[in-house]
Amino acid sequence: MGRNAMIYILLWLLGAPLTLILILFLLGVGR
């Protein structure tokens, strides 16, 4: 863990999952 670990944690563990959910629902995967 370096100095910028916070950014990577937030990006991959918080941003990426929420973005994936958003993209899936915006693409209209669920009908």
Partner 1 sequence: MARVEIEEVVAVEPDDGFLPWYVSWSGVFVGALSALALLLVFGLTAIAVGAHQVGQHFASWHEFRLITLAFSVFGAFLSFVLGGWAAAKVTGTRRPETAMLHGAIAWLVTVPGLLFFAALGAGGYLGAWYGGLAAPPAWAAQATPMADNAAALLAARNAALGSLTALLLGLAGSVVGGWLGSGERMTLNFSKIPHRQHGRAWGGMR
Shortest approach of partner 1 to residue 21 CB, angstroms?
A: 5
Report the C-alpha gap between 15 and 10 in whole angstroms. 6
Residue 9 is encoded by which pair of tokens? 């944690």
Report the C-alpha gap between 19 and 14 in whole angstroms. 9
Shortest approach of partner 1 to residue 18 CB, angstroms?
A: 5
Q: Footprint of partner 1 on residues 1-31 (CB under 8 A)?
A: 1-3, 5-7, 9-10, 13-14, 17-18, 20-21, 24-25, 29-31
Shortest approach of partner 1 to residue 29 CB, angstroms?
A: 6
